[in-house]
Chains A and B, each alone.
Chain A
Amino acid sequence: MKPDIFQAIADPTRRAILTLIAIQALTPNAMAEKFDMSRQAVSKHIKVLQECKLIKPEQSGREIYYHFNPKKMQEFDNWLAQFRKNWETQFNQLDKVLSTIKKQKK
């Protein structure tokens, strides 16, 4: 199954990787060093992050640097904002329903 952003960011190590590369693009070796992980473990995380487009590779000489993709994160934030807005709307409707019920009881 293809991983989605939710699964990608649910993992604390991947969140740490994202936080770090949001500041500066890194090579897999540098990530392994910073997180004290094997190259294999890093590759697994990179695969998940890249599959859901949260990071993108860029070749620089013989090294591959991974960059943060803020656009993808923004999409995610937009979804959430919409979800939040729906609840706000529903709750405002509920406020009105409640006040109607209260008036009827009087």
Chain B
Amino acid sequence: MNNLLFDFTLNKATKTVLITREFDANLSMMWDAFTKQEILDQWWAPQPFISKTKLMNFEVGGRRFYAMISPEGQETWALQKYTSITPKTNFKMYNSFADKDENPQLPGSEWDFNFSEQNGTTKVSISIYNESLERLEKMIEMGFKEGFTATLNYLDNLLPTLS
């Protein structure tokens, strides 16, 4: 698809998953893509699932409360609490599953996002710390059943809605 870096590793000793990806976009654009509700909802859920943000308040102590919705209409809610924000370079959040009334199911996981731009390409590094595998397992199961294929052309669906 492209030659941009994609790196995914599990650090067993620190119980951390590290994901690094380069994007053909500048820093401001990448920051917006990860911190603005209207852009997040366009890509955060792997299709055919969709992401629907009910509320988002991007500031330290603020939160994003959103659902992943399956093609059958089943909603899985999650709560992300922002614990630290350094504009355009880093933010941290505590992610947990929740019920539809925003009651979190603990323990959750700690996410750390880092952004850096070089020659117009922006590298995004995400580290996800999980206390237990059970949590990681649930994260994987959350709507992402094995074997689904991204056959729909996402861009075709997205373009008419944007223009």
Listed in ascending order, the chain A residues whose CB lies under 8 Å from chain B are: 4-7, 9-10, 12, 15, 76, 78-80, 82-84, 86-102, 104
Nearest chain-B residue to A92 (Cβ)?
B1
SS class, residues of chain A in contact with chain B: helix
Cβ–Cβ < 8 Å partners of A5 in chain B: 133
Collect the chain A residues with CB atoms within 8 Å of residue B140's CB. Answer: 79, 82-83, 86
Residue pair B146, A90 in contact (C-beta under 8 Å): no
Q: Knowing A80-B10, A95-B2, say if A89 contacts B24 (CB, 8 Å).
A: no
Residues from 139 to 154 in B contacting A, C-beta threshold 8 Å: 139-140, 144, 146, 150, 154
Among B9-32, those with CB < 8 Å from A are: 10, 12-15, 17, 19, 21, 23-25, 29-30
With known contacts A6-B132, A90-B44, A98–B144 Cβ distance under 8 A: no
Give 29 A-B contacts (CB < 8 Å), ordered by A residue. A4-B134, A5-B133, A6-B12, A6-B132, A7-B133, A10-B12, A15-B12, A76-B133, A82-B140, A82-B146, A83-B17, A83-B136, A83-B144, A86-B46, A87-B19, A88-B6, A90-B45, A91-B21, A92-B150, A94-B33, A95-B1, A95-B2, A95-B23, A95-B24, A96-B154, A98-B23, A99-B24, A100-B158, A101-B39
Compute how far the CA of A36 lies from the CA of B117 in the bound complex, rounded to whole angstroms: 49
Distance between A97 CB and nearest chain B CB, rounded to angstroms:
5
Interface residues of B in 95-140 (CB under 8 A from A): 130, 132-134, 136-137, 139-140
- Taken together as a complex, chains A and B put the C-alpha atoms of A97 and B24 apart, in Å, by 11
**CA–CA, A65 and B150, complex, Å:** 46
Q: Is the CB of B133 within 8 A of A90?
A: no
> How many A-B pairs with Cβ below 8 Å?
95
Contact indicator A90/B13 (Cβ below 8 Å): no
Interface pair B13/A10, CB less than 8 Å apart: yes
Q: Indicate the size class of the contact surface on chain B.
A: 35 or more
Minimum Cβ distance to chain A for residue B94 (Å): 18
Residue on A nearest B15 in the bound complex, by CB: A10
Contact of A98 with B139 at beta-carbon distance under 8 Å, contacts A12-B13, A89-B46 already known: no
User: Bound complex: CA of A100 vs CA of B8, how far in Å?
Assistant: 26
Q: Are A6 and B133 in contact (CB under 8 A)?
A: yes
Knowing A7-B133, A93-B43 are in contact, say whether A102-B10 is a contact too (CB < 8 A): no
